[in-house]
């Protein structure tokens, strides 16, 4: 490979890893029939005039496998937290007891499980697109280097092969994560 051209493969790797990390976060927010504190991460509460993550207005706990509790710190926000959970699309009906909001996690029916696997598939596709966009950026840098005369055609093919191998590895990781999540969702 030529000394005149240097593709920052570490940057490409970091950006692709970022897409994978985002996918894991999105997967964590999907219900699987088991209680998880992370399922409330996307829920935002209208608190003090700003949209605030639920974990910044109360303590989220999982006291038992099918129960999540939110201990709201400010009593005046209990109704807003309850409303935010109800409208979040999680399919959970909150029950209030003072400042503690209990969220019993119902069994998922077959139809809901299938819907959630489709959502997981959409999240995975977004991750694949993000990874392909990083690959395109890398390929554009390689083409620019070739057009600027910074590398030979053989070097261009080597760099392109390296970027494609990195992309293929990351796409395979996305597919494996999706398979695992879909199996977890469909598990009764």
Angle, helices 110-147/9-28, rounded to nearest 10 degrees: 170
Residue 168 lies inside a defined structural domain of this protein: yes
- Do 176 and 83 share a structural domain? no
Range scoring the smallest mean pLDDT among 34-43, 58-67, 167-176 = 34-43
pLDDT at 188: 64
How many distinct structural domains can be found in the chain?
2
- For the segment 61-76, the average pLDDT, to the nearest whole number, is 89
Tokens of 59: 């303590």
For 123-145, write each residue's pLDDT tens digit: 999 999 999 999 999 999 999 88
Residue 2 lies inside a defined structural domain of this protein: no
Domain containing 21 — which CATH number?
Answer: 1.10.132.20
For 13-38, write each residue's pLDDT tens digit: 999 999 999 998 888 777 666 777 77
Give one DSSP letter per residue of 133-165, joined into a string. HHHHHHHHHHHHHHHTTSS-HHHHHHHHHHHHH
Pick the residue with more confidence: 17 or 6?
17
Instruction: Examine the fold and report which residue of 104, 131, 147 is the final residue of a domain before the chain moves on.
Output: 104
Instruction: Examine the fold and report which residue of 56, 77, 104 is the final residue of a domain before the chain moves on.
Output: 104
Measure the CA–CA gap between 13 and 131, rounded to whole angstroms.
9
- Do 88 and 20 share a structural domain? no
Measure the CA–CA gap between 5 and 47, rounded to whole angstroms.
51
- Do 119 and 95 share a structural domain? no
- For the segment 177-183, the average pLDDT, to the nearest whole number, is 91
pLDDT at 1: 44
Residue 1 lies inside a defined structural domain of this protein: no
Residue 3 lies inside a defined structural domain of this protein: no
pTM for the full predicted model: 0.69
pLDDT at 2: 43
- Do 59 and 21 share a structural domain? no
- Do 179 and 127 share a structural domain? yes
Residue 4 lies inside a defined structural domain of this protein: no
- Do 113 and 100 share a structural domain? no
For 44, the domain range is 34-104
- Do 100 and 80 share a structural domain? yes
For 31-60, write each residue's pLDDT tens digit: 666 777 778 887 889 888 889 898 899 999
């Amino acid at each position: 490979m030529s000394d005149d051209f240097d593709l920052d493969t570490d940057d490409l790797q970091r950006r692709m890893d970022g897409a994978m990390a985002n996918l894991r976060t999105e997967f964590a927010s999907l219900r699987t029939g088991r209680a998880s504190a992370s399922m409330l991460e996307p829920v935002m509460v209208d608190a003090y005039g700003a949209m605030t993550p639920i974990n910044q207005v109360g303590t989220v706990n999982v006291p038992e496998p099918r129960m999540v509790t939110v201990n709201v710190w400010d009593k005046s926000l209990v109704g807003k937290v309850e409303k935010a959970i109800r409208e979040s699309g999680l399919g959970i009906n909150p029950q209030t007891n003072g400042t503690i909001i209990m969220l019993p996690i119902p069994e998922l029916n077959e139809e809901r499980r299938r819907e959630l696997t489709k959502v997981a598939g959409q999240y995975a596709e977004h991750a694949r697109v993000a990874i392909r966009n990083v690959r395109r950026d890398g390929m554009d840098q390689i083409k620019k280097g070739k057009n600027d005369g910074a590398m030979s055609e053989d070097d261009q093919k080597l760099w392109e092969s390296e970027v494609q191998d990195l992309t293929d590895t990351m796409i395979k990781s996305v597919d494996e994560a999706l398979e695992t999540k879909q199996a977890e969702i469909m598990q009764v």
